[in-house]
A and B are shown apart, each in its own frame.
Chain A
Amino acid sequence: MTTTFQGFRRPSGAVGVRNHVLVLPSVMCANHVVDRIGRAVPEVVTVNHPIGCSQVGADFEQTKRTMAGFAANGNVAAVLVVGLGCESNESKALAHEIATRGQRVEVIGIQETGNTSETIARGIEIARQLVREVSAYERTTCALSELILGTECGGSDGFSGITANPALGHAADRLVGAGGTVILAEVPELVGAEHLLAQRATAPVAAKLFELIERVEARARMMHVDMRYGNPTQGNIAGGITTIEEKSLGAAYKGGSTPLREVVEYAERPSERGLVVMDTPGHDIEQMTGMVAGGAQVVVFTTGRGTPTGSPIAPVVKVATNSAMFERMRENMDVDAGTIVTGTRTLEQVGDEIFEWIVEAANGRETAAEVLGFHDFAINRIGPSF
């Protein structure tokens, strides 16, 4: 039985499965400089986003928590923060927060450096230096109990709740059995299934879960809308899903069958091991970013319609719910769970393949989304820009 993998151990104590240098803009005004650094130093990963200024309150706190958590993920060996200078998400404060989490970090500001070209040149210099520095890291034996797995379903169809999600649940149970942590998220897609999860939780954890579900339904009431067509989407409906309850009952299988230990906020790192619910929207990329910012080093993503997304810093294992889509989008998929209904493999066999993929991805095997170069990134907003 597998209990270990070959990962990277950071001075902070964090454990990673990749050895990235991340170049992160503290504000959208630095996106261009970040892009140019990434073009000149292809060994780094870069992200872009449209935020980091004119933000206040809980929304601002969530943005800062997400950026710092993402940058401090064990998959990142070193970070270069690029700021403008006058932004609300002050780059030096962000770098300080990243450093507080034990991460190696450098920071440059465009207004302080003077001129775009000079900042790009300085950024390239620092990025090259960080790449050299992190090449000294070697993989070492780490316990599976140090893994946090993010689970996600996107582009769901009528097979999601029959094949890929229960198979992922089997893999999730195996990881929890090995002492690891599994994040179940996309709370709008737990509406109608929350009572089943609550049965596996202590009263305070169940109460927090019900509170998150109520936030979703309160938003629908405030907007006087039926969630349907926003979620489930037109594509979900074309795939056979009729209501949010039906989608949720299928989605909840991803978390497996172990007790629900904790409910955390968006991008908050779990303090418990085992199964954890994170408050994220169903928006695939905001969810993925939130889970990775909460410490997930590996993500498994099930899809029926065929969702190609991938994280800039974490391997995302793609599981097709049906064989027809698996064949049509072979390049984007890693596992075919459609074989469960064609009768060629059992749910447990596919679940074991997913578990093995998690371990192999942790060991360094590249997923389809990594080979294709996806680096999608989006932070969930909970308030307006001012």
Chain B
Amino acid sequence: MPLSLDGAALRLKDDDDVAVALRPLDPGVPVRFPDAEIVPSVAIPTGHKIALRAVAAGALVHKYGQPIGRASAPIVPGDHVHVHNVDGVRGRGDLAEATT
């Protein structure tokens, strides 16, 4: 059941940590999935991601059933998931010296 009941958000794979907002999501207005209800903590723009479950800082974040990066801060359901709380793992030449 990837699509929320009101068509506001889409979860692409069952195990994903996030859903994609198909229209702007307003803070406090619940997004209802058949198996869960998620309340956006902030306004989430169209095409952006809303957290469906908690992700600890440092843990991988999944979309398309695949890891898309690592949480750089704790994420709770309803959070806007983006560059402020997720970092890429790949293409990180900036970390090269620290890891070699």
* Interface residues in chain A, defined as those with a beta carbon under 8 Å from any beta carbon in chain B: 157-159, 161-162, 188, 191-193, 196, 216-217, 219-228, 231, 237, 239-240, 242-246, 249-250, 304, 322, 324, 341, 343
**Contact partners of A231 in chain B: CB under 8 A:** 91
Tell me whether B20 and A158 are in contact (CB under 8 A): yes
Are A237 and B7 CB-contacts (below 8 A) given A161-B64, A220-B93, A245-B88?
Answer: no
Q: Is the CB of B20 within 8 A of A221?
A: no
Residue of A nearest to B94 (CB): A226
Interface pair B83/A158, CB less than 8 Å apart: no
Judge if B32 is at the interface, Cβ distance under 8 Å.
no
- Partner pick for B47 among A159, A220, A224, CB 8 A cutoff: A159
List residues of chain A with CB within 8 A of the CB of B22.
Answer: 341
Determine the distance from Cα of A284 to Cα of B20 in the docked complex, in whole angstroms: 26
Within 8 A of A (CB), among B10-56: 10, 12, 20-22, 45-49
Residue in B45, B83, B97 whose CB lies within 8 Å of A242: B83
Q: B11 → chain A, closest Cβ, in Å?
A: 11
Q: Are B91 and A216 in contact (CB under 8 A)?
A: yes
Contacts of B88 in A (CB 8 A): 192, 226-228, 242-245
Residues of B within 8 A of A (CB): 7, 10, 12, 20-22, 45-49, 63-64, 66-69, 81-83, 86-97
* 23 interchain pairs, CB-CB under 8 A: A158-B20, A158-B46, A158-B49, A188-B91, A192-B68, A220-B93, A221-B96, A225-B94, A226-B93, A227-B88, A227-B93, A228-B88, A231-B91, A237-B83, A240-B45, A240-B46, A242-B49, A242-B81, A242-B82, A242-B88, A249-B68, A322-B47, A341-B22
Contact B90 A192 (CB under 8 A): yes
Residue of B nearest to A231 (CB): B91
Question: In the complex the two chains form, is A224's CB within 8 Å of B97's CB?
Answer: yes
Write out the residue numbers on chain B whose beta carbons fall within 8 Å of the beta carbon of A221: 93, 96
Instruction: Kindly list 13 other residue pairs between chains A and B, CB separation below 8 angstroms, not including A226-B92, A343-B7.
Output: A158-B21, A158-B48, A161-B64, A192-B88, A220-B94, A225-B93, A225-B94, A227-B91, A228-B87, A243-B90, A245-B90, A322-B47, A341-B22
- B93→A246 contact, CB < 8 A: no
> Which listed residue (B47, B68, B90) contacts A157, Cβ 8 A?
B47
Which residues from chain A contact B96 at a C-beta distance below 8 Å?
Answer: 220-221, 224
A220 touches B92 (CB 8 A): yes
Decide if A245 touches B93 in the complex (CB within 8 Å): no
| Chain B proximity of A283: nearest CB distance (Å) | 16
Tell me if A217 and B64 are in contact (CB < 8 A).
Answer: no
- Nearest first, the 6 closest Cβ-Cβ pairs linking A and B are A158-B47, A220-B93, A227-B91, A243-B88, A240-B47, A246-B68
Establish whether residues A243 and B87, one from each chain, have CB atoms under 8 Å apart when the complex forms: yes
The closest CB in chain B to the CB of A249 belongs to B64
Complex CA distance for A343 and B3, rounded to whole angstroms: 11
* Beta-carbon contact of B93 and A162 below 8 Å: no
B83 with A341: CB separation less than 8 A: no
> Could you say which of B7, B21, B63, B94 contacts A246, with CB atoms under 8 Å apart?
B63
What residues of chain B lie closer than 8 Å to A322, measured between beta carbons?
46-47
Closest CB-CB distance, A261 to chain B, in whole Å? 23
Bound: A188/B88 CA distance, A: 13
B14 to chain A, nearest CB (A): 16
A274 to B13, CA, bound (A): 28
Q: Which of B21, B67, B91 has the largest count of A CB atoms less than 10 A from its CB?
A: B91
Q: How far is the CA of A53 from the CA of B11 in the complex (A)?
A: 52
A191 to B68, CA, bound (A): 11
Instruction: Give every chain A residue within 8 A of B46 (Cβ-Cβ).
Output: 158, 240, 322, 324
A162 touches B83 (CB 8 A): no
* B45, chain A: closest CB distance, angstroms: 7
Q: Which residues of B contact A188 (CB under 8 A)?
A: 91
A246 contact set on B, CB distance < 8 A: 63-64, 68-69
Given the contacts A243-B69, A249-B68, A217 and B90 also touching, CB distance less than 8 Å: yes
Q: How far is the CA of A32 from the CA of B87 in the complex (A)?
A: 47
A224-B86 in contact (CB<8A): no
Task: Give Cα distance in the complex from A225 to B90, angstroms.
Answer: 11
Report whether B10 and A245 are in contact in the complex, using a CB–CB cutoff of 8 Å. no
